[in-house]
Structure formats: C-alpha cells, structure tokens
C-alpha cells in the first residue's frame, strides 16, 4: 500500500505553524458540539443554568390544577388562621360597620384592630377618653369597644357623656376592664355600657357580642 508521505508532512507542518487563535477557535467549535449533544440532542444548546429554552418553571402557585383542587386549597388557606370554633363569618355588606376601639395600650389596640378588620369591620381607634369623644362626633361609629382605665378621661365618664348627648345616646358600647368584680360591672352598666367583658377575654366572644349589638339596630344619631 502506498503512503503519501509528502501530503502527511505538509499537514504536520501546517499544524506546527498554526496560530494560537486558530487552535482556540477549533477547540471552541468542538466544545460547542459537545454542549449540543449534552443538552439532549443535536441542535439544542443548553442555556446557562442547564435549563432548556422555553421550559422555565411557572411561578404561579396552583397553576395547572383543576378548579375544584384550587378551591379546596384556597379554603384550607383561609381557615388556617383559626380553628372553626373560633372563627365567625365576616359581614357580607358593601358598607361594613364602623367600630371605634379605645385603649391606651398600643399593642392591645393594634392587635384588636387587626382582628376586627379580619372579621370584615372597618376600625378607627383612640388612646384616651377625650380622643374617644372626638372620634365619636367626627367619625360616627356604629359601635364602641371601650376600655375603662383611660388617661385624661375615664371610660366611665366617656359612657356618661355619650348617654347624656341625644346624638350619641343610642350608640352601642361594649366595655372592657381588667378590674374583675360585680361592683365594677354594675358601675359600668350604670354609666351606660351595654356589655361588660372582663380581661382577659376571648376575642371570638367579643366579636360575637359586637354582631349581636349591631343586629339590635342601635346606631348613632348623626
């Protein structure tokens, strides 16, 4: 068998004198061919991160689930914040009742406001007795949740002022007090409170009392 020595020598000589840039270009072409093969077939180069173009995951939670499954998932999420025995249905009205919450402890005030808003009410707040009276006359709430121990003007005096005013004498008032005892309860009722709850109390119990008082039809006379 004849061997073309001259041809082989020429090819070897060309490789020896090839410029560095040409070697890198040839190597890059080889790596590109390997990447195409690794990506799952010829003609499909894998983008950075190993994901194939057009196959990005959909970040939407529940995307692709049947409607019944989505409704079931949403129902579980809505009820995860409290047990069924401690949840009450929010009022389904276009204009939710306006509740005035009065307490001089900011943490208590914020927590109660959040819970009542979760129940579907609109909430305004006050931190003392004088501010409470101003909020009643300016905001016209449908019901007041009132702490008895307040600065500037006590909750008992607030009740008396509201009952003495024809515009506010029908306002439902639920009194909260850390002072537990029959004497304290009778004093609050005598001052004009509709309901007395001793602290600590169950919030779901308070929500039930709010709904009951609102259902009685008592409202502020504007």
- CA distances (Å), 60 to each of 57, 65, 94, 128, 168, in order? 9, 11, 30, 46, 50
Which is higher by pLDDT, 193 or 47? 193
The strand pairing partners of 177, in sequence order, are: 198
Minimum mean pLDDT among 104-108, 165-169, 201-205, 207-211: which range?
A: 201-205
How high is the pLDDT of residue 2?
44
With cut-offs at 50, 70 and 90, classify the pLDDT of residue 99: very high
| pLDDT of 48 higher than 60 | no
Question: Which residues lie closer than 8 Å to 208 by C-beta, 6 or more apart?
Answer: 88
Between CA 87 and CA 108 the distance in angstroms is 20
| pLDDT of 18 higher than 90 | no
| pLDDT of 174 higher than 60 | yes
Q: What is the mean pLDDT of residues 178-188?
A: 88
CATH ID of 94-215, from 3.30.70.1230, 3.40.50.620, 3.40.50.300, 3.40.50.2300: 3.40.50.2300
With cut-offs at 50, 70 and 90, classify the pLDDT of residue 80: very low
With cut-offs at 50, 70 and 90, classify the pLDDT of residue 31: low
Which is higher by pLDDT, 211 or 80? 211
| pLDDT of 193 higher than 70 | yes
How is the chain split into domains, by residue range? 5-38, 94-215
Between CA 152 and CA 130 the distance in angstroms is 7
Residue 66 DSSP class: -
| pLDDT of 196 higher than 90 | yes
How high is the pLDDT of residue 42?
43
Nearest-CA neighbor of 193 among 153, 146, 138, 152? Answer: 146
How high is the pLDDT of residue 28?
52
How high is the pLDDT of residue 39?
44
Which is higher by pLDDT, 219 or 169? 169
């Amino acid at each position: 068998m004849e061997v073309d020595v001259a041809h082989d020598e020429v090819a070897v000589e060309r490789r020896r004198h090839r410029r560095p840039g040409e070697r890198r270009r040839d190597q890059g072409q080889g790596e590109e061919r390997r990447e195409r093969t690794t990506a799952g077939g010829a003609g499909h180069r894998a983008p950075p991160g190993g994901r194939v173009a057009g196959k990005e995951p959909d970040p939407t939670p529940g995307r692709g689930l049947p409607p019944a499954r989505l409704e079931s998932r949403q129902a579980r999420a809505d009820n995860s914040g409290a047990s069924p025995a401690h949840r009450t249905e929010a009022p389904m009205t276009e204009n939710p009742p306006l509740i005035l919450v009065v307490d001089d402890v900011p943490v208590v005030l914020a927590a109660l406001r959040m819970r009542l808003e979760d129940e579907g009410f609109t909430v305004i707040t006050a931190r003392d007795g004088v501010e409470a009276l101003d909020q009643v006359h300016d905001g016209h709430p449908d019901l007041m949740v009132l702490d008895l121990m307040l600065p500037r003007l006590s909750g008992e005096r607030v009740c008396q002022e509201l009952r003495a005013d024809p515009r506010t004498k029908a306002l439902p008032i639920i009194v909260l007090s850390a002072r537990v005892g029959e004497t304290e309860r009778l004093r609050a009722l005598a001052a004009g409170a509709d309901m007395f709850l001793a602290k600590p109390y169950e919030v779901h119990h308070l929500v039930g009392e709010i709904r009951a008082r609102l259902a009685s039809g008592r409202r502020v006379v504007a």
